[in-house]
């Protein structure tokens, strides 16, 4: 049994998500100790718990310690089988963080996995669902993974109630990803949304983002979306399509924060990623790590984050030496697969 120290590196829920996913993929039992020990409210939170329960169902696993607040967890996986997964977080806990746990494991099933998750679609400290749909899935398709994410309803903090469904097909052809520096930006797209708020909120966010991004001198198409849900909220995700991958930027609205500030924030974040010349933005880098171990490849990230370094560490606890990371934390760098893993 592999023992993972959950306080390593940035010490957050990502250690848990990647560990349980790799346990399910490899069939190797895992014990995680000191779960989220570095956080103000340590131990399992609801979104982590629901990710674990979903992976338990997906891989027919035996689990000990799966309760909110638990600081230790044992996961003994069975086989990953094609099935429908239904997860209800019951709070505004992040749907995309649950998906981060599920995505790698779903790709190793023996047939299509369909999922439906209820919770928060656009909440602080996690990727917005539009980013995962349009940036993460775009990159995974380059690796040979076919999937879909559909938003049925938005869900914001604190009420949640968002609904996301989709599927992931078995990962049959594992394609190496070489994505170092882009040579051209083809276009910028985006989605600006307002839920239980006036339409002008979404429109002002989009307009402000477009004004900032017009300096790129390329086509920009940011569409607006107005919807109803359990509570109010707004946000915007913008992404640039280059000749290698897509890079993204995002921002969330909140009470008292002008829509123009939200739009500019997302646009400036995207420009910050683009100015490094890297093919992979700082948000996508750590998400790709578990997949790259099996596909092989070499990427340049706009920023080497603590999340990325931590994810590399977790993967190598299961699979041995896989990666070479060149560069310093908080700076652009190269991540290269030096030993591709075959299962």
User: Which segments are annotated as binding site for ATP?
Assistant: 100, 283-287
Contact 176, 187 (CB under 8 A): no
Residue positions annotated with a catalytic role:
307
User: Rounded CA gap, 253 and 261, in Å?
Assistant: 9
Q: Which residues are annotated as a binding site?
A: 100, 283-287
- CA–CA distance, 255 with 259 (Å, rounded to integer): 10
Q: Are 105 and 147 in contact (CB under 8 A)?
A: no
Compute the distance between CA of residue 46 and CA of residue 77 in angstroms, rounded to an integer.
21
Task: Provide the pairing of β-strand 147-153 with 162-168.
Answer: antiparallel
Q: Supply 170's token pair.
A: 């078995």
Q: What are the start-end ranges of the H helices in the chain? A: 13-26, 46-59, 95-106, 129-131, 137-143, 199-213, 259-274, 282-295, 306-319
Dihedrals phi, psi of 246, to nearest 5 degrees: -110, 140
């Amino acid at each position: 049994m592999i023992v993972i120290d959950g306080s390593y590196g940035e010490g957050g829920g990502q250690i848990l998500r990647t560990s349980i996913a790799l346990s399910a993929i490899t069939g190797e039992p895992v014990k995680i100790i000191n779960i989220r020990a570095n956080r103000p409210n340590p131990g399992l939170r609801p979104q982590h718990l629901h990710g674990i329960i979903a992976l338990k169902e997906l891989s027919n696993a035996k689990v000990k310690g799966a309760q909110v607040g638990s600081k230790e967890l044992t996961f003994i996986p069975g086989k990953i089988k094609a099935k429908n997964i239904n997860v209800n977080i019951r709070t505004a806990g992040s749907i995309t963080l649950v998906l981060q746990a599920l995505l790698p494991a779903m790709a190793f099933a023996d047939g299509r996995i369909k999922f439906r998750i209820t919770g928060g679609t656009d909440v602080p400290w996690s990727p917005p669902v539009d980013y995962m749909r349009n940036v993460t899935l775009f990159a995974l398709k380059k690796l040979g993974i076919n999937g879909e994410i559909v938003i049925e309803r938005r869900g914001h903090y604190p009420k949640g109630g968002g609904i996301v469904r989709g599927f992931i097909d078995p990962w049959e052809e594992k394609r190496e990803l070489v994505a170092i520096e882009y040579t051209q930006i083809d276009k910028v797209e985006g989605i600006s949304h307002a839920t239980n708020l006036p339409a002008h909120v979404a429109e002002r966010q989009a307009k402000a983002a477009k004004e900032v991004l017009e300096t790129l001198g390329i086509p920009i198409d940011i569409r607006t979306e107005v919807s109803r849900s359990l509570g109010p909220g707004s946000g915007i995700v913008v992404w640039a399509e280059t000749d290698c991958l897509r890079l993204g930027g995002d921002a969330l609205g909140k009470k008292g924060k002008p829509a123009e500030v939200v739009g500019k924030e997302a646009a400036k974040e995207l420009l910050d990623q683009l100015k490094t010349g890297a093919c992979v933005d700082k948000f996508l880098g750590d998400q790709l790590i578990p997949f790259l171990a099996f596909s092989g490849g070499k990427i340049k990230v706009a920023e080497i984050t603590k999340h990325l370094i931590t994810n590399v560490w977790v993967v190598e606890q299961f699979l041995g030496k896989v990666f070479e990371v060149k560069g310093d934390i908080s700076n652009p760098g190269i991540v290269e697969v030096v030993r591709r893993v075959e299962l």
